[in-house]
Structure 1
Amino acid sequence: MTEEEATWHEAHKATLSRGERAADVMRNSMGSWRFVAGFIVFMLLWAAMNSWVLSSRGWDPYPYILLNLFLSMLAGLQGAILLIAAKRQDAIAAAMAQHDYDTDLQAKAEIERLTIINNEQLEILRELRVLAGQSARG
């Protein structure tokens, strides 16, 4: 696809840094039911391994202090990642709004040009009707 054929969104995605693309991927994966289900399964496995399977030899016995630490770290990282993604979404929305505004201005100019042409054509038709009326009388 050439640059002229690329959509605005594709052109914008090509300018993203590696970190911005990573934030988008993480936001999309963390905001999915697959992530929620996987996270629930992980916590259930953690509890099962440390409570019943490994009984007293578990690496994190009840009340799961290590799991609590990991969940706290995950929450902190998720907050930062979601803020990065939200900031990017705001930038995208602002750029798209500017693009829409520019498109509207171009459309307005084109409509005004077409209105002028239409008015000129109407004036020519009026003049032709007047000439046709004069030649029919004469």
Structure 2
Amino acid sequence: MEQLDRIKLMVREYQGNIKSHLTQQQEKKASWADRLADHIATFGGSWTFIVLFSLFLLGWMAINLTAIAYDKPPFILLNLILSCIAAFQAPVILMSQNRQAARDKQEAILDFAINYRAEQENIELKTLLERLDQRMERLEQQGLERSLDRGPEEE
């Protein structure tokens, strides 16, 4: 109930730019670690990361297949590095996803509130139009009755 009241207040205050206000609120709440996690997750899920990391792996293997090899096949040091990267990257991505899920939930609640308010306004407009229609019918009926009362000779 408290959340619904807060949403109604936000809808009233920020009629035109609710989502941008929501984004500003979330950015204010986000700590530097949250923002860092978002940036890491964004980069880790990009083609740039895939291409750069593929080049790194190929370079590592190429160097270690030569005479100056420091991590000979089966590349145990490389496996250790990959395991460490995965161990750190997975929780960071999960943190970012959790924040995104919370953001999506707030946006869904706001969308519901906006849609609910729009529906209420539509119901009010429909009621008003029905009343106007009834008045128009009464006026037409009164006009017909007056013309019938005058009779054909007065026209």
2:32 aligns with: 18
Greater RCO (Cα-Cα under 8 Å, separation 6 or more): 2
Give the partner amino acid of 1:51: L
2:82 alignment partner, one of 49, 63, 71: 71
Q: CA deviation at 1:116?
A: 1.4
1:100 alignment partner, one of 101, 111, 123: 111
TM-score by length of 2: 0.76
Q: How do 1:1-138 and structure 2 match up within 5 A?
A: 6=17, 8-9=19-20, 10-15=23-28, 16-52=30-66, 55=67, 57-138=68-149
TM-score by length of 1: 0.85
Q: Please, which runs of 5 or more residues in structure 2 have no aligned partner?
A: 1-12, 150-155
Q: CA deviation at 1:92?
A: 1.4
Q: Please, which runs of 5 or more residues in structure 1 have no aligned partner?
A: none
1:4-43 deviation per Cα after TM superposition (whole angstroms, max 9, x unaligned)? 5655143245333222222221111111122111111101
Q: Distance in 1 between matches of 2:94 and 2:58?
A: 29
Q: Distance in 2 between matches of 1:61 and 1:12?
A: 51
Task: Work out the percentage of aligned pairs sharing the same amino acid.
Answer: 27
